[in-house]
Amino acid sequence: MPAPAAPPPAPAPATRARRLLAPLGTLAGVVAAFTYVGLVDPNESGHYPVCPLLSMTGLYCPGCGGLRSAHAVAHGDIAAAFGSNALAGAGYAIFAAVWLIWLILVARGTRPRVSVPPFTGWAVGAVVVVFTVVRNLPFGSSLAP
């Protein structure tokens, strides 16, 4: 009877540069998007499509003002970013924090583990719905773009 085959060798650990490829590639994509929106002003009509919900109903969707918010962030005007779309501004801040944590973990050689509680999706959905409803009511007009 032939001897059992030796198990294949374990893969070599990824180099730091290889580990950083995903977070840095993500950052490059986000920087490219913000650069484009920073260069092509959404405050001037004709550059971007009109929100279909706003054009058909006159109601602001949760994303209305998001491009103007990104444009303001690209120009360093954080107050204007939150004034255009507070939810988008909060999303940018959350993304930056999560990306930084991801980068630090990957740089240290720790494998990031994502564990999202089941209610998180419902909570985020509820925040988006409440934001959308409030920004369309008279007392929430400060949230309108």
From CA 61, how far away is CA 133, in angstroms rounded? 9
pLDDT tens digit string along 71-125? 999 999 999 999 999 999 999 999 999 999 999 999 998 888 888 898 999 999 9
pLDDT tens digit string along 10-29? 665 668 888 899 999 999 99
From CA 106, how far away is CA 98, in angstroms rounded? 12
Q: What is the pTM of this model?
A: 0.82
